[in-house]
């Protein structure tokens, strides 16, 4: 994964802006409560941004691996750099999401709760799903970068975990988020689009011959009692 200097500068600038915003440097808070919930509010906005970036990242991956595009160098040339960049930006926004939640005393997620599934005081199960999604995401990205460390073809098998990462992030966002009711149309729209993309890719990959074979599996015929043999006329 190539993160150019420009990419790192952008990520650093976003992090600096977040730090300025949540530490009362840009717009001084008018009351104590506003001051205390700022990191929490910023963390939520960063979580939603990370989720949307992840949806785009997975969509770009599905696009690349779709049988219609996978052999086409023009598609790879255009879409692959986006897939990589989206991975870097998802990671950066996620890092900010997690760090702010870990340092913020408002709900008591804490560092241990952020990284050890089940140890968060705040919504332990949904937060645990987020942590597991994070680890699965790191594994998917790291194995794609260092493919030579694995037996041939393994990275791709592991990379398919990406669909599961998205599913876990979706469930985490819906269950952990305070804004779920307002954001439900967004979750349904983005989740539905990614799901449709994955289903279409899978359907195209199994191929027409296999589809036909699957369709021609004989349907179970209900068992019928054998007809009684006609009674012989002699008896
Ligand atoms: C793939 C990884 C993750 C993604 C894409 C993600 C994304 C999101 C999203 C979209 C929300 C909803 C925000 C809202 O509605 O206000 C959220 C909430 C939350 N996330 Fe994450 N998250 C991830 C990992 C984590 C991890 C590792 C933690 C551990 C600290 C975490 C802690 C939380 C908490 C505590 C909330 C609730 C905030 C609220 O009340 O809205 N997330 N996350």
| Per-residue pLDDT tens digits of the chain, which is 235 residues long | 567 888 888 888 888 888 888 887 777 777 777 777 888 989 999 999 999 999 999 999 999 999 888 878 888 899 999 999 999 999 999 999 999 999 988 878 999 999 999 999 999 999 999 999 999 999 999 999 999 999 988 999 999 999 999 999 999 999 999 989 999 999 999 999 999 999 999 988 887 667 667 666 555 545 555 566 666 554 4
For residues 194 and 59, the answer to whether their CB atoms sit within 8 Å is: yes
The set of residues, in sequence order, having a beta carbon less than 8 Å from that of 195 and lying 6+ positions away, is none
User: What residues line ligand 1, using a CB cutoff of 6 Å?
Assistant: 44, 47-48, 50-51, 54, 94, 97-98, 101-102, 109, 114, 122, 127, 130-131, 133-134, 137, 169, 172-173, 176-180, 183
Q: How far apart (Å, rounded) are the C-alpha atoms in residues 174 and 171?
A: 5
- The closest residue, in CA terms, to atom 38 on ligand 1 is 177
How high is the pLDDT of residue 117? 97
- The closest residue, in CA terms, to atom 23 on ligand 1 is 130
How high is the pLDDT of residue 137? 97
Distance 43 CA to ligand 1 centre (A): 8
Distance 199 CA to ligand 1 centre (A): 26
Cα-Cα end-to-end distance for the chain: 89
Considering only CA atoms, give the Rg of the chain: 25
Residue of 130, 174, 188, 189 with the most ligand 1 atoms within 8 Å of its CB, for mutation: 130
How high is the pLDDT of residue 38? 86
């Amino acid at each position: 994964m190539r993160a150019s200097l420009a990419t790192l500068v952008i990520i650093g600038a976003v992090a600096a802006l977040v730090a300025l915003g949540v530490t009362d440097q840009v717009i001084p808070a008018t009351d104590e409560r506003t001051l205390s919930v700022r990191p929490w509010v910023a963390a939520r906005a960063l979580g939603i941004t990370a989720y949307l970036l992840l949806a785009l990242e997975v969509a770009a991956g599905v696009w690349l691996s779709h049988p219609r595009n996978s052999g086409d160098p023009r598609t790879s040339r255009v879409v692959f750099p986006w897939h990589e960049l989206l991975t870097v930006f998802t990671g950066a926004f996620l890092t900010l999401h997690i760090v702010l939640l870990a340092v913020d005393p408002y709900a008591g997620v804490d560092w241990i709760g952020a990284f050890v599934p089940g140890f968060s005081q705040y919504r332990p199960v949904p937060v645990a799903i987020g942590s597991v999604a994070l680890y699965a995401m790191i594994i998917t990205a790291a194995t794609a970068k260092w493919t030579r460390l694995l037996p041939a073809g393994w990275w791709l098998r592991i990379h398919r975990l990406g669909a599961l990462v998205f599913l876990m992030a979706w469930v985490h966002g819906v269950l952990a988020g305070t804004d779920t009711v307002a954001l439900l149309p967004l979750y349904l729209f983005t989740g539905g689009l990614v799901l449709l993309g994955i289903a279409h890719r899978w359907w195209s990959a199994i191929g027409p011959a296999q589809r036909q074979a699957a369709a021609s599996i004989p349907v179970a015929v209900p068992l019928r009692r054998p007809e009684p043999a006609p009674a012989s006329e002699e008896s």
